[in-house]
Structure 1
């Protein structure tokens, strides 16, 4: 038997104002996208903004449906749109923000498992890491240099 230790490294900013200017702008786009979320059931709104290597910004917000799980998370809405609209562009950075009408969300909220898997697919496809910044409605922002930090031992096409 061999014991393996997996470590991850993340940066934590006290608030959006500490982020580089370009990431502040990307987070602003994510905040605006969050306002367009359709979340009448969970009351949990999420916005995502993606910066591509062609200088385009693609946004997405979660879209719920009374027939769970027919809705789609903000991250996958944005990443799939980026793939459809800009199939040859690489995703450089993602900014994510989430808020709840039921409670204060001042803790950074990372992507769910399904979204992590979708982001991992694009990171592998482009053979380049994606910077991911995530936060709640306010407060601290976490930065991961790669999805691999958030999903160690990920499942990919090499297993197929």
Structure 2
């Protein structure tokens, strides 16, 4: 009997209690929370906010922008990365915070970047040769921290010529 080859990858997220948040993490989460309030989500009522820290210390925030023609909308993560990389193409993204909630809820929803956003994050990790830390707020106000996109997208699509 022929043995089948198996590929295994272990992924993990760190859970950070609110009392243990760093000043930098707190600042990013607060900026993402502020951004979520301005999300344009009239169809799903699911509002997402994000904040991105660049290696030059600048922080940018964005939110999801829906459109009645559903494929035309953009996620908060891709919006902030597109803006930052379009205007500061030589500054490496260091950390990305993501928060989300339903318009009618008072608590945060556990959310991770969608597949398109994960692939976009991967693109900038490849470009800069460095992981982007991803912070995701959950309902218990803990941060779920991924040390890089490989923890959320272990079998990602990379440049096939490299």
- With the length of structure 1 as denominator, give the TM-score of the two structures: 0.92
Q: Could you tell me how far 1:64 is from its partner in structure 2?
A: 0.4
Q: Could you tell me how far 1:4 is from its partner in structure 2?
A: 2.0
Gaps in structure 1 of 5+ consecutive residues: none
Gaps in structure 2 of 5+ consecutive residues: none
Aligned to 1:144: 146
Aligned to 1:113: 115
Aligned to 1:12: 15
- With the length of structure 2 as denominator, give the TM-score of the two structures: 0.91
RMSD: 1.7
Q: Could you tell me how far 1:158 is from its partner in structure 2?
A: 2.3
Q: Given that residues 132 and 148 in structure 2 are in contact (C-alpha distance below 8 angstroms), is that contact kept between their aligned partners in structure 1? A: yes
Alignment: residue pair count: 159
**Cα deviation 1:88-144 (Å, max 9, x = unaligned):** 000000111001025565453110111001110011111001000012465221001
Q: Given that residues 65 and 76 in structure 2 are in contact (C-alpha distance below 8 angstroms), is that contact kept between their aligned partners in structure 1? A: yes
Structure exhibiting the larger radius of gyration computed from Cα positions: 2
Aligned to 1:69: 71
Q: How does 1:1-160 map to 2 (within 5 A)?
A: 1-15=4-18, 17-103=19-105, 106-136=108-138, 139-158=141-160
Provide the C-alpha distance between the structure 2 equivalents of 1:128 and 1:25, rounded to a whole number of angstroms.
22
Q: Could you tell me how far 1:156 is from its partner in structure 2?
A: 1.3
Provide the C-alpha distance between the structure 1 equivalents of 2:157 and 2:129, rounded to a whole number of angstroms.
15
Q: Given that residues 107 and 139 in structure 1 are in contact (C-alpha distance below 8 angstroms), is that contact kept between their aligned partners in structure 2? A: no
Q: Could you tell me how far 1:149 is from its partner in structure 2?
A: 0.8
